[in-house]
Amino acid sequence: MVNKPVLQFPTDYPIKIIGRPSDEFRARVHAVVLRHAPALEAERVSERLSGNGNFLSISYNLLAESRAQIESLTAELRECDGVMMLL
């Protein structure tokens, strides 16, 4: 049996959310992230449109405080309207 590496907290935790580009999608995702990481700094957020402009990826480099924080954030993002993929 292989042991999974254990994260040491606090830690930088990158997360990418992909959906259709719109101001509403961006606002919903950002509101969810801020509920779980209220001290998020603007320079830790980036966006990128797909080559043909059909998809928007929003990347966050969070300073995660605990595994529970990450788990609750990802659970809420999976349920967020418009989220097509979470990496």
Q: For residue 14, with 0-12 CB atoms within 10 Å meaning exposed, 13-18 middle and 19 or more buried, which class applies?
A: exposed
Taking only the tens place, the pLDDT of each residue in 45-70 is 999 999 999 999 999 999 999 999 99
Which H/E stretch holds residue 19?
A: strand 11-19
Domain residue limits, the chain: 11-86
- For the entire predicted model, the pTM comes to 0.90
pLDDT at 7: 83
Supply the mean pLDDT for the chain: 95
What percent of the chain is predicted at pLDDT more than 70? 94
How is domain 11-86 classified at the architecture level of CATH?
A: 2-Layer Sandwich (3.30)
In whole angstroms, give the CA distance from residue 52 to residue 79.
26
